[in-house]
Amino acid sequence: MRTLSLAAAILAVSALEPTGAAAQQGMPGGTPMTFFVTSEPIGDGGNLGGLAGADAHCQRLATAVGAGGKTWHAYLSTQARPGQPAVNARDRIGTGPWYNYEGVMIARDVAHLHGDTLELARLGNNLHKRSGLTEHGQIVPGLNDHKHPRDTDWEYVKTTPYTNRHEVLTGSQPDGRAYPPELDYTCNNWTSNQDPKPGQAQGGLEAAPNRPNVQIGFPDRNGGGNGSWNSSHGTNGCSQTALVRTHGIGMLYCFAIN
């Protein structure tokens, strides 16, 4: 009898412990994670290896937490080039709905995500600091979190994961579409880690002729520009050190497309 009681107790405790993918993704109610903010960057500034490299990064991070059974794409646009049409971020992330690590809905579809109608724009999507979680279920550090004089220095930031790093690369306009090709909003379609050279346009956070730049957004909706989740302002350049100067490290939004 004592042996049976002990076995029953072990089984009862085991039943309370999350297992497998559910434990790794934190899926209350069995809702799979289909959206996350990357917990770590590729680390080469705006050079992501193109869209393919960015998608592979999303897939790798998702796989590491047990969500690799889905196909993951990075929310990124590319600009038109000769013989190469533009790609809109909104067209490469599936149809939704998308849920974060905790099973909270971020948006039910592409139109809801971007506020395509006046009604949807008033409603807004559900992406904010508490819901814009990484694949590990972590909140992305933002403004006023663990402020430090060196939180714009990559050598410090890369070993200090709780410093402000709330800028997410998108290369997109507010409606999720690509920018016209004349100015750089995508670090040359995610292949460049270059900064403005002497004599090129310097300073400011907007695109300018002959200036490497990338458009970013804020998952916490709290930062410079208009505070948009996907299209707030540009950067000082495309190197890893330039991204950090405005409190970014090259993070991405990742969406499951199936």
| pLDDT tens across the length of the chain (258 residues) | 444 343 433 333 333 333 334 444 555 557 999 999 999 999 999 999 999 999 999 999 999 999 999 999 999 999 999 999 999 999 999 999 999 999 999 999 999 999 999 999 999 999 999 999 999 999 999 988 888 899 899 999 999 988 899 999 999 999 999 999 999 999 999 999 999 887 665 567 888 888 999 999 999 999 888 889 999 999 999 999 999 999 999 999 999 999
Instruction: Answer yes or no: is 2 within a domain.
Output: no
Report the relative pairing of strands 98-99 and 105-107 from DSSP bridges. antiparallel
Distance from C-alpha of 54 to C-alpha of 190, rounded to nearest angstrom: 8
- Within a domain: 61: yes
Q: What is the pLDDT of residue 29?
A: 55
Q: Cβ(157)–Cβ(244) under 8 Å?
A: yes
Q: Give the CB-side neighbour count of residue 205, counting CA atoms within 13 A.
A: 19
| CATH code of residue 149 | 3.10.100.10
Q: Which of 251, 245, 234 is nearest to 154 (CA)?
A: 245
d(CA 5, CA 217): 55
**Are 95 and 187 spatial neighbours (Cβ–Cβ below 8 Å)?**
no
3-state helix, strand, coil in the chain (%, to 5): 25, 15, 60
Residue 219 has a pLDDT of: 95
The residue with tokens 């889905």 is 70
Round to whole Å and give the CA distance between 234 and 230.
Answer: 11
Q: Quote the Cα angle for 88-27-53, to 5°.
A: 35
Cα distance between residue 127 and residue 96, in whole Å: 14
47 occurs within a structural domain: yes
Residue 204 has a pLDDT of 75
Confirm whether 209 is domain-assigned. yes
CA-based nearest residue to 32, from 70, 63, 60: 70
pLDDT of residue 6: 36
Q: Provide the greatest CA pair distance for the chain.
A: 85
First to last CA, the chain: 50
Instruction: Answer yes or no: is 121 within a domain.
Output: yes
Residue 117 within a domain:
yes
DSSP bridge pairs for 216: 169, 233
Residue 126 lies in a domain: yes
Is 174 exposed, middle or buried, given 0-12, 13-18 or 19+ CB atoms closer than 10 A? middle
Per-residue model confidence (pLDDT) at position 231:
97
Number of domains in the chain: 1
Please indicate, yes or no, if residue 15 is contained in any of the structural domains. no
Domain residues for the domain of 174 are 29-256
Q: How far is CA 230 from the centre of its chain?
A: 9
Residues 165, 250 contacting (CB under 8 angstroms): no
